[in-house]
């Protein structure tokens, strides 16, 4: 069992869904070097385990992650800040590299680094009280954990620039209206239950294939179309010798449910 003094809690349930929780509600789950280090280690462990889905959330009702630890940032010079930024970016890249779906479940504030952590997931669900923003320019800074790059890829260049330049916050419905959030739930409990139901529904499909679809979509987003199509073709063709592809196509022909092995490629 996890102890309550851990900054990152990680628990895998009987459905092989791992819930990762930012666990410092007294500081609104602020991101420090220590927190990011713990999150990195949790993600590395997951990459080596038989996990079929991940929920990323924050402890308490007030915040998913309210931002970076400003007190810690006050002591940083340029070199320290560079290491901090690269660590935050490394964590989000680890989320993208996981071969299973990751849903960020945002309750309360997801500001600055909090929004950047959520953007590292495959998509975002939130509770009605969620608040999103990248307010770094109000501190004389800019987003450093991927916000200047990922937000535009999700909501479009002009909306992202407006959010970053003004530092304004969005409520849950505003976030949904621009495509930042996929679904809004009334309460945190409904939010977690909703994400769990979606991940369980995905398990009726091949998580192995979903992982390869993730590889193609994440890897192709920055490529010109012809190169992106080549990546898609390579990933598509590479699935045909896998157990799940053989099982899935045979099950369709036999008009029966498929019995996927998910994480086992062969």
**Among 106, 75, 121, 238, residue whose Cα is nearest residue 175:** 106
Q: Which residues of 114-153 are buried (b: 16+ CB within 10 A; e: fewer)?
A: bbbbbbbbbbbbbbebbbbbbbbeeeeeebbbbbbebbbe
Q: Strands 131-133 and 109-111, how do they pair? A: parallel
Q: What is the pLDDT of residue 5?
A: 63
Once rounded to an integer, what is the mean pLDDT over residues 98-118?
A: 97
Q: Looking at residue 23, what is its pLDDT?
A: 96
Q: How confident is the model at residue 1 (pLDDT cuts 50, 70, 90)?
A: very low
pLDDT band at 243 (very low <50, low <70, confident <90, very high): very high
* pLDDT at 264 exceeding the cut of 60: no
8 Å CB contact between 130 and 108: yes
What angle in degrees, to the nearest 10, is found between the helix axes of 225-238 and 207-220? 160
Q: Is the pLDDT of residue 266 over 70?
A: no
Of the candidates 116, 162, 186, 189, the residue annotated as catalytic is 116
Give pLDDT, residue 265: 52
Quote the tokens at residue 203: 């398990």
Percent of the chain with pLDDT over 90: 94
Give the angle subtended at the CA of 37 by the CAs of 31 and 38, to the nearest 5°.
90
48 is a catalytic site residue: no
Binned at pLDDT 50, 70 and 90, residue 3 comes out as very low
Model's pTM, two decimal places?
0.94
pLDDT in tens, 43-99: 999 999 999 999 999 999 999 999 999 999 999 999 999 999 999 999 999 999 999
> Percentage of the chain with pLDDT > 70?
97
Predicted pLDDT of residue 24: 94
pLDDT-based confidence at 2, cuts 50/70/90? very low
Q: Which residue in 38, 136, 224, 266 is the catalytic one? A: 136
In which band, very low, low, confident or very high, does the pLDDT at 262 lie, cut at 50, 70 and 90?
confident
Active site residue 186: no
pLDDT confidence of residue 82 = 96
Do the strands 63-65 and 109-111 form a parallel or antiparallel pair, or are they unpaired? parallel
Q: How many CB atoms lie within 10 A of CB 100?
A: 26
């Amino acid at each position: 069992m996890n102890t309550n003094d851990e900054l990152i809690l990680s628990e895998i349930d009987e459905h092989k869904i791992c819930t990762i929780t930012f666990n410092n509600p007294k500081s609104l789950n602020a991101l420090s070097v220590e927190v990011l280090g713990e999150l990195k280690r949790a993600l590395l462990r997951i990459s080596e385990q038989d996990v079929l889905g991940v929920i990323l959330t924050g402890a308490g009702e007030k915040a998913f992650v309210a931002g970076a630890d400003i007190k810690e940032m006050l002591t940083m010079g340029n070199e320290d800040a560079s290491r901090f930024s690269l660590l935050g970016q490394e964590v989000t890249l680890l989320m993208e590299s996981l071969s299973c779906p990751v849903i960020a479940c945002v309750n309360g504030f997801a500001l600055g680094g909090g929004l950047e952590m959520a953007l590292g997931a495959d998509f975002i669900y939130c509770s009605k009280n969620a608040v999103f923003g990248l307010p770094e320019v109000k501190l004389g800074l800019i987003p450093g954990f991927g916000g200047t790059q990922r937000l535009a890829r999700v909501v479009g260049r002009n909306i992202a620039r407006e959010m970053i330049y003004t530092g304004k916050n969005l409520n849950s419905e505003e976030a949904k209206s621009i495509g930042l959030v996929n679904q809004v739930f009334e309460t945190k409990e409904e939010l977690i239950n909703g994400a769990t139901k979606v991940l369980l529904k995905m398990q009726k499909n091949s998580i192995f294939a979903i992982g390869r679809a993730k590889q193609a979509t994440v890897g192709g987003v920055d490529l010109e179309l012809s190169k992106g199509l080549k990546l898609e073709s390579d990933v598509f063709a590479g699935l045909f010798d896998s157990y799940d592809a053989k099982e899935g196509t045979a099950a369709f022909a036999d008009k029966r449910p498929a019995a996927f092995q998910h994480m086992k490629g062969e």
